[in-house]
Amino acid sequence: MDIKHHVIKDFAFADGTVLPSVSVAYAVLNASAKKTALVVTCFRGRITNTCTFTEGALRDHRVVVAALLGNGESSSPSNTPNFPQATLDYRDCVNAQYDLLANGLHIDSLDVVVGFSMGGQTTYHWLVMYPGMVKNAVIICSSASTSGHNVQFLEGPRFALENSIDYVPIANRRQPDGSVTDKPCVRGIQAFGKAYSAWLTSAEWFDQESYQTLGFDTRADWDFTTTGPNYNGWEADDLLTMLGMWQRGDVKKTGPTDSLQDTLGTIKAPVLLMPAETDQYFRPFVSKKEAGMIPKATLKVIPSIWGHLAGSGSNPVDTQWMDDQIVSFLGSK
Amino acid sequence: MDIKHHVIKDFAFADGTVLPSVSVAYAVLNASAKKTALVVTCFRGRITNTCTFTEGALRDHRVVVAALLGNGESSSPSNTPNFPQATLDYRDCVNAQYDLLANGLHIDSLDVVVGFSMGGQTTYHWLVMYPGMVKNAVIICSSASTSGHNVQFLEGPRFALENSIDYVPIANRRQPDGSVTDKPCVRGIQAFGKAYSAWLTSAEWFDQESYQTLGFDTRADWDFTTTGPNYNGWEADDLLTMLGMWQRGDVKKTGPTDSLQDTLGTIKAPVLLMPAETDQYFRPFVSKKEAGMIPKATLKVIPSIWGHLAGSGSNPVDTQWMDDQIVSFLGSK
């Protein structure tokens, strides 16, 4: 996959920070297709492991996959001095992606925006911030405003990492020339991974030993990879920065009032919401509530024991199910 | 409450360790009542904060409240050199409690054993290890064998604490005279508390801001107390030792074969199982499965958004509901 970088000069973040240069990493798939889709990465997502539906529901779409700020591919603490770690906001991601589309790729209309998890929260921001540009949206295992339960769950991995014996903030390791002294945070990141791991799927998934369908004989084998090697290449501060954006995620910041109803009421595009039945932190009852506030919402609950991962592309059965729903949603327009 | 200690000489643990002296902390409530009940503490439970139903369903019972080994009141890493931290087992708790009852209090029959969470897992062990002694059992928000999902969840707090910047194992701080050098583990225990906290209740509980019924205005206020002051007085190694016993919890170790069906099939006493509808780690579907393997089981699911805490005595409405079920269960005998 050909990953490119769109550079924006003098980019202003929502918190007032202005950086001389910010980069959005992206890739364009199905480049010759007529329709256009934007797919946004999720927490701990890279462009290449993002579920894009490029061979199914979006096969007729030119698909732009854009990496969130903070993910290590786009501008992030790991590659950018003075990055606003503690205040990064979904609005920044959307503004940067808008610049990529408008000024980089000369795209002024999106047939569909698709996002899973943090990508879904970004999609909510797209719908409210650029209502004229988004014709349809697909929001998978996500929410418009991060719930108290979700914020609290994220406190676990955050504190596990920040208080670990080998965590040293990147700001304390940056040299005058901008380079960074390497300081592996092996134990801290594993503790982060452990505190995150049981939330990923569901009690039923463990009960049915579904890690075996991923090639792991035992829970311990799955745990070893999931909380260890799967974090290879991730910088602690990038993880913490994205996690903070997620905790602060609230589309109301972009709305006409401080009411979720008023904010979601501004959405003009048809929206397909697909929470997963067993998702432990983006609960379906929240999506159902949000669907009631979006003028043209379709709610389809993924019938799966894969919990949050049902929406990630990890399980082919769930991915096919979502693909079918997207085909039907876009086809009915 | 008058907390006493029953001392057992030359106590043999299941792992083969023999300690010259092991102590079981306990209290006797309703001392003059005719019937006898045993109530066992839970994870992070002390005798005084254990829900005993002493004024309701068990008002006609002399109630012996016994502290689990490892809880800091009974023999534990914090107060006992050479305590078998890595291998402590529910069998040890039951054998020590049996000694308390048989040799300390001269009780040879229990009208009912009641346990919540780890106390419930202990109760399962009582039923299989001393079938002739237990006439009835009440098991609240628990399981016979710790599920893979539950084991994985506990890896979070465990790793957060063990890899924290201020954790020093107690064995490394014990002096030749048996005393322990104090080394506060403030950050490690807070990280433990954070990684545990979102599991305690439920997504619905946070959504409905039910922490307000506990006197906290905001989630952040509740979080502050729940992950900080609520751990005051807890030694890191006691927490880790109990957590390990929980992770290894499996009543099959005491059964006739390695089959849960065969093991639970040996239970002669009527058992009331009360999982909570929204419990995130002792899921009701597991209790339902176990109820199907116990010859005389009654399953009543606590209708509550308080998650695991529904069974803890934290919410008066749930406690009353359970009390009513216990009255009806014991009354029908």
d(CA A42, CA A256): 26
- How crowded is residue B126: how many other Cβ atoms within 10 Å of its Cβ? 26
B332 pLDDT above the threshold of 80:
no
Cβ separation of B156 and A152 shorter than 8 Å?
no
Question: E strands along B30-179, which residues?
Answer: 35-40, 61-66, 112-116, 137-140
Q: How confident is the model at residue A333 (pLDDT cuts 50, 70, 90)?
A: low
Cα of A190 to nearest chain B Cα, Å: 8
CATH architecture of B4-147+250-331: 3-Layer(aba) Sandwich (3.40)
The model's confidence at residue A1, banded by pLDDT at 50, 70 and 90, is confident
Cβ–Cβ gap B148/A281 under 8 Å: no
* Chain B residue with minimum CA distance to A166: B165
For residue A243, what are its two tokens?
Answer: 């996690």
B174 by Cβ neighbours in 10 Å (0-12 / 13-18 / 19+) ranks as middle
Residue A30, Ramachandran bin (φ over 0: left; ψ between -120 and 50: alpha; else beta): left
Q: What whole-number distance in Å separates Cα of residue A203 and Cα of residue B280?
A: 8
Chain B residues close to A202, C-beta within 8 Å: 149
Gap between the Cα atoms of B285 and B277, Å rounded? 9
> How many angstroms from the chain centroid is the CA of residue A188?
22
Query: Cα(A322)–Cα(A324) distance, rounded to whole angstroms?
Result: 5
Burial class (CB in 10 A: 0-12, 13-18, 19+), B31: exposed
Chain A interface mutation, best of B143, B164, B281, highest count of A Cβ atoms under 10 Å: B164
For domain A4-146+250-331, give the CATH number.
Answer: 3.40.50.1820
Classify residue B70 as left (phi > 0), alpha (psi -120 to 50) or beta: left
Query: Is residue B209 predicted with pLDDT exceeding 60?
Result: yes
**Which residues of chain A are at the B interface, by a Cβ-Cβ cutoff of 8 Å?**
147-153, 155-160, 162-167, 187-188, 190-191, 194-198, 202-207, 209, 219, 223, 227, 280-281, 283, 285-286
Q: What is the pLDDT of residue A332?
A: 73
| pLDDT for the residue numbered B333 | 56
Angle between helix B148-162 and A148-162 (nearest 10): 50
pLDDT computed for residue B26 by the predictor: 98
Nearest to B206 among A148, A162, A280 (CB): A148
| Averaged pLDDT for residues B295-300 | 98
Which chain B residues are Cβ-neighbours of A209 within 8 angstroms?
Answer: 148
- Tell me if the pTM is above 0.90: yes
Position of tokens 């980069």? A23
Say how far residue A303 (Cα) sits from the centre of its chain. Answer: 21
Judged by CB atoms closer than 8 Å, whether chains meet at A160 and B191 is answered as: yes
Instruction: Measure CB to CB from residue A219 to each of B151, B164, B280 and give the nearest one.
Output: B151
Q: What's the 3-state SS for B240-279? A: HHHHHHHHCCEHHHHCCCCCHHHHHHCCCCCEEEECECCC
Contact state of B148 with A194 under an 8 Å Cβ cutoff? no
Of B96, B101, B65, nearest to B83 by C-alpha is B96
**What percent of chain A stands above pLDDT 90?**
97
| Residue B81: pLDDT over 90 | yes
Run of H or E residues at B287: helix B284-291
Query: Which pLDDT tens digit goes with each residue over A58-102?
Result: 999 999 999 999 999 999 999 999 999 999 999 999 999 999 999
In chain B, which residues have their Cβ closer than 8 Å to the Cβ of A204?
Answer: 283, 285
- Categorize the per-residue pLDDT at A178 as very low, low, confident or very high, splitting at 50, 70 and 90: confident
Do B219 and A151 count as a contact with CB atoms less than 8 A apart?
Answer: yes
Rounded distance between C-alpha atoms, residue B83 and residue B80, angstroms: 6
d(CA B248, CA B254): 13
Does B158 sit within 8 Å of A160, measured CB to CB? Answer: no
Reading the block at residue A189, the tokens are 């990141």
Q: Which of B155, B185, B150, B160 is nearest to A189 (CA)?
A: B160
Distance of alpha carbon A188 from alpha carbon A194, whole angstroms: 10
**Tokens, residue B308:** 């695991």
Q: Which of B155, B162, B200, B250 to mutate to test the interface with A (most CBs of A within 10 A)?
A: B155
pLDDT tens, position by position, A200-222 = 999 999 999 999 999 999 999 99
Q: What CA–CA distance (Å, rounded) separates B122 from B144?
A: 9
Find out whether B22 and B12 touch, Cβ atoms under 8 Å.
no
- Which residues in B have their CB inside 8 Å of a CB on A? 147-153, 155-160, 162-167, 187-188, 190-191, 194-198, 202-207, 209, 219, 223, 227, 280-281, 283, 285-286
CA distance A20 to B151: 48
Q: Where are the domains of chain A?
A: 4-146+250-331, 151-242
The CA–CA distances, whole Å, from B81 to A18, A196, B43, B246 equal 58, 34, 21, 21
Tokens of B83: 């305590």
Average pLDDT, chain B: 97
Return the closest-CA partner of residue A101 out of A18, A38, A23.
A38
Is this complex's ipTM strictly greater than 0.95?
Answer: yes
pLDDT at A154 over 90: yes
Residues of A within 8 A of B305 (CB-CB) are: none
User: pLDDT > 90: what percent of chain B?
Assistant: 97
Mean pLDDT (whole number) for B127-154: 98
> Quick check: B49 pLDDT over 80?
yes
User: Can you name the residues that pair with A39 across neighbouring β-strands?
Assistant: A65, A114
Quote the pLDDT of residue B87. 98
